[in-house]
């Protein structure tokens, strides 16, 4: 069956004691996975081009054998996160760190795009390249003395999103230019203009009322090419908090925190004290 794949993972953590008050920590990770998209029986046997959609003897509109579908995916991820911890005194600890994580997802179509046609399942061929990178720095300080457990910190991070996709129609019946005399879609790859309907290449036929001329340039069954799409955005997030857990007897009073978000939308959460708890 067309359902093979593999995965590899590497993870490591390094701790280094610089002095009695200073230490370094480093987290490293790397992951890669690759897998095939399982075929339906129709995709495995190219049935769409052998009578299920078009009775073309297993040949695509370009006259070449279609063969089985061979769609695959790959995911790659790496992350790195160094941290420095400094003991200021018996009551106070400072931590400063940075982080970066990158995820990339690739979807690969069959070498012959017409092999991706699966009736009732897929009418287009698709190529995807999606990337997400999250980077940032953070720092926090912790102070514990008496009834106070005080923590304060700040984190700034940016998330970079990039997407590059391409797609094209591989079903000759999806956006047929003309209808045959019996009302069925005309799948002749040379018919690309409704002025040809009812003519020598479409005797007794008529124009397809549902034909969308905007899709003709991306219809691979009629000489079109893949439609390219590229999108990118940068999401910024600044978080700051000041929190003090004050404990006296059976009561604990917790103060809140605030977040400032700017990305696809903008939002601010103002700090507010929480109710006492027991």
The 10s digit of each residue's pLDDT in 195-221 is 999 999 999 999 999 999 999 999 999
Residue with tokens 């003309």: 178
pLDDT confidence bin for 239, thresholds 50/70/90: confident
Q: Among 24-33, 105-114, 184-193, 238-247, name the one with the lowest average pLDDT.
A: 238-247
| Helices (H), ranges, 15-158 | 41-45
CA–CA dist 26, 14 (Å, integer):
5
Q: Among 110-114, 152-156, 202-206, name the one with the lowest average pLDDT.
A: 152-156
Q: Is 115 exposed, middle or buried (0-12, 13-18, 19+ CB in 10 A)?
A: buried
pTM value is 0.81
- Tokens at residue 244, please? 């003090």
3-state SS, residue 46: coil
Give the residue-averaged pLDDT of 244-257.
72
What's the fold here for domain 5-170+216-269? Maltoporin; Chain A (2.40.170)
Is the confidence at residue 259, as pLDDT, over 60? no
> What are residue 92's DSSP bridge partners?
143
> Which pLDDT does position 156 carry in this prediction?
92
Tell me the residue length of the chain: 278
- Tokens at residue 183, please? 């009302």
> Which pLDDT does position 9 carry in this prediction?
97
Domain residue spans of the chain: 5-170+216-269, 176-211
> Which pLDDT does position 226 carry in this prediction?
97
> Which pLDDT does position 268 carry in this prediction?
59
Average pLDDT, the chain: 90
CA–CA dist 7, 60 (Å, integer):
34
Cβ count within 10 A of residue 181:
12
Higher pLDDT, 96 or 120: 96
- Tokens at residue 224, please? 């079109």
Higher pLDDT, 244 or 56: 56
């Amino acid at each position: 069956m067309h359902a093979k794949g593999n995965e590899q993972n590497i993870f490591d953590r390094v701790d280094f004691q610089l002095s009695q008050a200073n230490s370094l920590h480093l987290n490293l990770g790397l992951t890669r996975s690759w897998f095939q998209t399982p075929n339906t029986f129709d995709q495995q046997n190219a049935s769409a081009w052998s009578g299920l959609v078009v009775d073309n003897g297993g040949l695509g509109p370009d006259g070449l054998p279609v063969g089985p579908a061979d769609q695959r995916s790959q995911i790659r991820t790496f992350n790195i996160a160094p941290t420095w911890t400094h003991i200021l005194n018996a009551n106070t600890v400072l931590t400063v760190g940075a982080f970066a994580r990158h995820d990339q997802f690739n979807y690969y179509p069959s070498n012959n795009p017409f092999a991706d046609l699966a009736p009732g399942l897929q009418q287009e061929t698709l190529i995807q390249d999606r990337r997400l990178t999250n980077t940032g720095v953070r720092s926090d300080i912790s102070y514990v003395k008496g009834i106070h457990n005080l923590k304060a910190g700040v984190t700034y991070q940016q998330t970079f999103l990039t997407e590059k996709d391409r797609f094209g129609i591989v079903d000759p019946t999806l956006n047929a230019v003309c209808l045959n005399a019996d009302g069925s879609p005309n799948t002749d790859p040379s018919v690309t203009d409704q002025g040809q309907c009812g003519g020598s290449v479409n005797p007794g036929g008529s124009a397809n009322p549902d034909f969308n001329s905007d899709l003709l340039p991306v219809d691979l069954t009629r000489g079109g090419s893949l439609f390219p799409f590229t999108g990118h955005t940068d999401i910024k997030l600044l978080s700051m908090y000041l929190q003090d857990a004050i404990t006296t007897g059976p009561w604990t009073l917790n103060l809140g925190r605030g977040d400032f978000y700017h990305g696809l939308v903008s939002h601010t959460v103002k700090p507010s004290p929480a109710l006492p708890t027991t």
